[in-house]
A and B are shown apart, each in its own frame.
Chain A
Amino acid sequence: MRLPAIASRCLVSLALSGFTLSGFAISSFARPQGPLEPESLGYVALEGIDTSGSWALALVGGDSQWLEVPQLAGLVRHYPTLTALREDTRGDLQGALQSLRAGVLESPHFEGPNGTLIRAGLARGLQIVRERALQRAQSGLVPATDLFQPRNRGAGAVVSSTIWFEGSEHQVVLSRIERPAPDPNGPPGLAAGDGRELVYATLNEALEFRYVALLVEDLFTDVRAEPLLRITQRLESYDRGWTNYLAHGFSQYPWEVWANSAWTDSAWDDPPRRQLILMHPELAFLADLRSSRRASLDETLLLHVAGLTHYFGDERDWFLGLSASTSIPGEEGLGLGLGATVHFGHTKTRSLVPHLSLGVVWHDTDASSKGPFVTLGVDLWRLADATPDGPFERQRR
């Protein structure tokens, strides 16, 4: 056995006895300085390893072709199969992680000079994930599996696509590449990928490490499924709320869009509950209802000078508003009218006129008297909408 390997095993023994290897604890850095060098952890670069062939992806890649190599079947025989792990332990995440850890500690396959370190790193990773899962579950958070996500770090001279537990004292790096300097006559800053490859794990170790990581990922995918469904439903609900507000709510002229942006409260996950109405013109019918003999129906232009609309429902399903309005009738003989308008609409109704504006205005008449007129408003913008679904939805169908 080579001396560095003996040294590394001694260091692992110390680590397992409760000492840290080097004092590198990621939490102690305000700003991580990047992955630790494998050598600083006592790793030995293995030489004479054939890194060609599809199995080499187990060392370097994010690709999963390595799962197809025949060696894998023999290597992982003593681990629970993916299916068994999912079916038997879905309700017992802690137990599943414990049994995986036991499998790692008992495995005969960590035989290379770095085998002890890699096994210790993997076992420690499983232990931390288990402890964290427990803590997060107690805080109402979904258990996380970030430790078992391989990191793909660096685009410069030294890169690695297979770092686990990055920056911690039990970091595991299966391999990395030292690239040559970029060709000055070549593309700027682009170093070739076929540099010197430094390998720190044997094929068996790399395969087994990645297989266990895969089992952990798979296990957590099941744990994650239900919360993820809830979360996506919530996100879709916010989007629908915004669509209802923008497409089916009380329409807004450009100045109203900016006024509402500036003065009403909202968030991306909380579509507006209130909408300001400001200098909002609207076509309306005007009914003179002072007496049945004078009853008539004329067109008028209503100008809602100022008002407020409130939206109800989680997805802003309907609205009710009130505005101070002025009426500019087309009929000669009627002067300017002043009054109030109530706005109502159901944003989920896919009709051409999804809302109504019903008001009362007082007009001067030829007879020098003021009288109440009833107005029924029509949303000009909705009339002008070209598509049946309205704007904001064309690409959502």
Chain B
Amino acid sequence: MVRQTVFLVHGMGSHPSGWDKSFRKSFLGALRQWAPFDGVSAREIERDHVHFVPIEYDSVFEGYRERWRDGSRSVLNRARSESSEVGVVLDFLAQNAEEDAGFEDFFWSHLLDPLLWFSSKQARQACVAHVLAQVGAGLRDMYARERTNTAHVVAHSQGTSVIHDALIALRHWDGHEGLFDPAGHRWKTVAMVANVSRLLEARFKLDHNAPREAYKAYRSVLDPGRADTIVENFFNARHAADPFLMPRRFRPGNWPSFGYTDIEIVRFKDVKKVHDFEHYFEHPSVHLPILRSILGRQGMGTQAEISRVWNEYIQRHPTAASIEFDHLRDLFGRDPDAKLKVQKLATYLWAAWKELSA
């Protein structure tokens, strides 16, 4: 039986191996609410219908993180023992860290990744290369196993920006021998959950083959309406109260309805979880269209099933978003197209994170 190959891409922050377990659980848990998968075990679904390929890019940032965080502590401590001036600086940093509790941890665990991705050309290029090595291996396995193209992408948060650039880079690469041009390969589904590909748009050229313009979120070959698109169905899911999406929402005005699906949700159980993949994927308006596309079952989800799943969902998620985190928009002067500088982005991400962790 042909299995659909789903490339999962994680979001920002540290993701040690095994990170994909919660993604798979969300995906399979959502699928098992709908016939004919309602009586099927998760293991059987993975055996017969869906094959997951986790794509990580965290090890690239983890490299910087380890070297700079752990390395700097080690190096500075060594220097501290030999120099009183270094000791004074370290004490000053420690005092400030206490005053702005959590910033240092947040910086290393969450902020470093998007900042490096956004501001360092080499970090971004290394990341794209690392992701494409895994994508290439995954596609090769897929063709060997299924003997046809069953490739789909489900990405979250920073992963939406990473996979966005990676798929475009693969398309424009001059070494793919035609295999990844639109005639050679198209992604059946690209599902962007909490899409920040516009917020973290590339500020520099990533390769020698394509202009920077090719990586613009609204003008890339991921637009399913372009004649040279590499995507059949593009899903964009956002939560109205997700603070990470407020500065620059992904909402293309002229993408076609037959290939592009825009999903906005408003309900939540805990407002601090609104950015989580699991929180998004619980919503039937998010997971059902994506699952229909991935499983190739457009008829999935009868009216009776939808009513049942929806009623259960709203009982678990009783609140609808209204003006949560609205004040954060002021940081960008409520201008969704304002020029984005690294410092501004860092300030915003820190403010958003403080709100979510308060």
Which residues from 97 to 151 on chain B have a C-beta closer than 8 Å to any C-beta of chain A?
119-126, 128-130, 132-133, 135-137, 139-140, 143-144, 147-150
Q: Is the CB of A266 within 8 A of B298?
A: no
Kindly specify which of A2-10, A16-24, A146-154, A363-371 makes contact with the partner chain. A146-154
Q: Is the CB of A236 within 8 A of B136?
A: yes
A161-B298, A186-B310 known; A155 vs B59 contact (CB < 8 Å): no
Kindly specify which of A30-38, A89-97, A305-313 makes contact with the partner chain. A30-38
A221 to B83, CA, bound (A): 65
Which residues from 176 to 192 on chain B have a C-beta closer than 8 Å to any C-beta of chain A?
176-179, 181-186, 188-189
**Which of A186, A221, A245 is within 8 Å of B307, CB to CB?**
A186
* Chain A hits for B181, CB < 8 A: 141, 144
A161-B296, A161-B298 known; A384 vs B67 contact (CB < 8 Å): yes
Q: Is the CB of A60 within 8 A of B59?
A: no
Q: Is the CB of A63 within 8 A of B67?
A: no
Q: Is the CB of A64 within 8 A of B1?
A: yes
Which residues from 51 to 106 on chain B have a C-beta closer than 8 Å to any C-beta of chain A?
56, 58-60, 62-68, 70-72, 74-75, 78, 82
- Contact of B39 with A by CB under 8 A: no
- Contact of A231 with B by CB under 8 A: yes
Kindly specify which of B193-201, B270-278, B286-294, B348-356 makes contact with the partner chain. B286-294
Q: Is the CB of B140 within 8 A of A228?
A: yes
- Contact of B49 with A by CB under 8 A: yes
A268 to B175, CA, bound (A): 12
A239 to B60, CA, bound (A): 10
Q: Is the CB of B125 within 8 A of A267?
A: yes
Q: Is the CB of B302 within 8 A of A384?
A: no
**Which of A189, A241, A391 is within 8 Å of B263, CB to CB?**
A189
A384 to B63, CA, bound (A): 12
- Nearest-neighbor residue (CB-CB) of B126 within chain A: A242
* Chain A hits for B147, CB < 8 A: 217-218, 221
**Which of B123, B185, B306 is within 8 Å of A187, CB to CB?**
B306
* Chain B hits for A221, CB < 8 A: 143, 147-148
Q: Is the CB of A258 within 8 A of B233?
A: no
A227-B177, A257-B122 known; A192 vs B302 contact (CB < 8 Å): yes
- Nearest-neighbor residue (CB-CB) of B74 within chain A: A384
Q: Is the CB of B289 within 8 A of A144?
A: no
Q: Is the CB of A177 within 8 A of B298?
A: yes
Q: Is the CB of A235 within 8 A of B133?
A: yes
Q: Is the CB of A194 within 8 A of B299?
A: yes
Q: Is the CB of A214 within 8 A of B148?
A: yes
Q: Is the CB of A396 within 8 A of B59?
A: yes
A257-B64, A391-B64 known; A189 vs B297 contact (CB < 8 Å): no
* Chain A hits for B129, CB < 8 A: 235, 238-239, 241-242, 268-269, 271
Smallest distance from the beta carbon of A292 to chain B beta carbons, Å? 30
A268 to B225, CA, bound (A): 27
Kindly specify which of A108-116, A246-254, A335-343 makes contact with the partner chain. A246-254
- Contact of A230 with B by CB under 8 A: yes
- Contact of A388 with B by CB under 8 A: no
A41 to B99, CA, bound (A): 71
Q: Is the CB of B306 within 8 A of A155?
A: no
Q: Is the CB of A385 within 8 A of B66?
A: yes
Smallest distance from the beta carbon of B69 to chain A beta carbons, Å? 10
A35 to B354, CA, bound (A): 46
- Contact of B325 with A by CB under 8 A: no
Q: Is the CB of A236 within 8 A of B133?
A: yes
Q: Is the CB of A392 within 8 A of B128?
A: no
- Contact of A106 with B by CB under 8 A: no
Residues of A whose CB lies within 8 Å of any CB of B are 26-27, 29-35, 60-65, 67, 132, 136, 139-142, 144, 146, 149-156, 159-161, 176-177, 180, 183, 186-190, 192-195, 197, 214, 217-218, 221, 224-225, 227-232, 234-236, 238-239, 241-242, 245-247, 251, 254, 257-258, 260-262, 264, 266-272, 330, 380-381, 383-387, 390-396
Q: With A63-B1, A186-B306, A230-B177 given, can you name 10 additional A-B contacts, CB distance below 8 Å?
A: A140-B177, A142-B179, A155-B289, A155-B292, A187-B283, A261-B122, A261-B123, A391-B65, A392-B59, A394-B62
Q: List 15 A-B contacts (CB under 8 A).
A: A29-B227, A35-B258, A62-B297, A63-B296, A152-B232, A176-B298, A188-B285, A214-B148, A217-B148, A218-B147, A231-B177, A261-B119, A269-B129, A393-B59, A395-B62
Residues of B whose CB lies within 8 Å of any CB of A are 1-2, 4, 16-17, 49, 56, 58-60, 62-68, 70-72, 74-75, 78, 82, 119-126, 128-130, 132-133, 135-137, 139-140, 143-144, 147-150, 169, 173, 175-179, 181-186, 188-189, 204-209, 225-227, 232-233, 235, 256-259, 261, 263-266, 283-285, 288-289, 292-293, 295-303, 306-307, 309-310, 313
> What are the 9 A-B residue pairs with the smallest beta carbon separation, nearest first?
A62-B296, A141-B178, A392-B63, A391-B63, A34-B258, A384-B71, A239-B133, A144-B183, A192-B303
